[in-house]
Chain A
Amino acid sequence: MPDAGAAWSQRRDTVPLPLQVDGLCYRVDEETLIDNISVSIDSPGISVILGPNGAGKSLFLRLIHGLIDPSAGDIRWRGRPPDLAQRRRQALVFQKPVLLRRSVAANIDFVLKPLGAGYRERRDQILQAAGLFRLRDHPARLLSGGEQQKLALARALATDPAVLLLDEPCASIDAGSTLQIETLLEQTSARGVKILLVTHNIGQARRLADDVLFLHHGRLLEYSPAEAFMKCPKSPPAQAFIDGNIVL
């Protein structure tokens, strides 16, 4: 698949790293769903947020993106809180793609139009890169699961983000689409876009991760380079997770 952004990417500013998270907590009622997470992510490339279902991965992603407010703690992207200005430089692909009730092309146009003239060519380039060009006039919501995820990713890339956040982009889609999405992510990362990818698929983590954050019961159990994590995880739940055991 050709690169989905290199040709037209306008972004020349630096990636807003490090991401510094300090004593992050998120509580609903009396339940602590994110429990005192502190971490500083400074490396470029792909950081994979790994953990079993219900670990708090999606909440963590929404917190650092600024969609929900922490109950306690602090989040900084290169010293700045995750406000509107920061969010503009980021894009989040949700676990369940939220596509507009329009055609495939119109879903991309929605984010490109405010950028002004020439958006049609860019849209076509983006759809080509995502392998969706021949589907451009289809209703977006009639696409297959894999196609919908690709469209959601293409739309995220169309915003030309410096940071790309993804919440299980390959959960419950076919192998072909998974491969296409992973290729797209590697190309995007190679362009210098920082990627934070949530997954509970250890295979995907092995293929993509430069470093791994392992979340369990709302806590960050470890943050290590991918190789070190895969070889000798420090915490028993992470060990069990890598070994393919069921981790609750």
Chain B
Amino acid sequence: MQDFGAAFGLAFSLVFNADADLVEIILLSLRVSIGAVALAALIGFPLGALTAVVAFPGRQAIAVLLNALMGLPPVVVGLLVYMALSRAGPFGWMNLLYSPAAMIIAQTILVTPIIAALTRQVVEDMHREYDEQFRSLCIPPRRVIGALIWDSRYSLLTVTLAGFGRAIAEVGAVIIVGGNIDHLTRVMTTAIALETSKGDLALALALGFILLVLALSVNAAVYGLRLSARRLSYA
């Protein structure tokens, strides 16, 4: 066992001196997870709203599937994306394995069901309230969906933050498809996992501290959003 006190000291000096490697890792983490969440929102909002509003065959099945996929284990997603992107896989020719793009793909797959399923719940409740008014006004379905998404914007922002929380904290998917390559695909969670096992506790601790602060900030943001939505009566 090495000296934990020294590790803590080193960790804080890394954080407060904005160590270049540390900053690089944090920025890549944010880039990957924000990219993935943006893509997931782009798919998940309309998909969730569609399943909430439009009666089409298989709608119930999609709703159940989305709910089930919310708990998708990251390592399984990582494995599937790995197989798809590996040289022998169907998308091997794209040469994406062990790149930030591969990590974004994996996290998008992980987060999309979460955003879609939560969006469906939010929009379904609002649809129940607006339905007769919209039918009375003869609003076409596309506009109905757009209006429901816009009017749920506060709730959907918290949904998005929940997705971001999931993405930024997961390690299983990004470590398989990214490989924790220094200066290329090393993100906070993979660095923590591997640096700890290598015994470099200082870097792991510094990253763990940042991750914790990020998680707390996301929660604070969700809380603040709820408050202001309620204040405006837009919740």
CB of A91 within 8 A of CB of B151, answer no
Q: Which of A90, A92, A142 contacts B233 (CB 8 A)?
A: A142
Q: From known contacts A100-B147, A102-B151, infer whether A87 and B233 are also in contact, taking CB-CB under 8 Å.
A: no
Of all chain B residues, the one with the shortest Cβ separation from A65 is B136
Classify the secondary structure of A's interface with B.
mixed
Within 8 A of B (CB), among A142-166: 142, 159
Stretch at the interface among B82-90, B126-134, B185-193, B218-226: B126-134
Q: Which of A88, A98, A102, A139 contacts B138 (CB 8 A)?
A: A88
Which residues does chain B contribute within 8 Å of A88, judged by CB atoms?
Answer: 138
Of all chain A residues, the one with the shortest Cβ separation from B130 is A98
Interface residue tally of chain B, by bracket? 10 to 19
CA distance A87 to B232 in the complex (A): 32
Interface residue tally of chain A, by bracket? 20 to 34
CA distance A111 to B133 in the complex (A): 11
Which residues does chain B contribute within 8 Å of A92, judged by CB atoms?
Answer: 136
Within 8 A of A (CB), among B106-129: 129
Within the complex, the shortest CB–CB distance from A131 to chain B, in Å, comes to 21
CA distance A217 to B135 in the complex (A): 27
CA distance A69 to B232 in the complex (A): 36
CB of B138 within 8 A of CB of A84, answer yes
Within 8 A of B (CB), among A69-125: 84, 87-88, 90-92, 94, 98, 100-102, 110-111
CB of B132 within 8 A of CB of A67, answer yes
Within the complex, the shortest CB–CB distance from A195 to chain B, in Å, comes to 16
Within the complex, the shortest CB–CB distance from B46 to chain A, in Å, comes to 19
CA distance A65 to B136 in the complex (A): 8
Of all chain B residues, the one with the shortest Cβ separation from A138 is B232
CB of B151 within 8 A of CB of A100, answer yes
Within the complex, the shortest CB–CB distance from A57 to chain B, in Å, comes to 16
Of all chain B residues, the one with the shortest Cβ separation from A100 is B151
Within the complex, the shortest CB–CB distance from A44 to chain B, in Å, comes to 22
Most-contacted residue by chain B among A65, A101, A139 (CB, 10 A): A101
Q: List 5 A-B contacts (CB under 8 A).
A: A91-B137, A92-B136, A98-B133, A101-B234, A141-B234
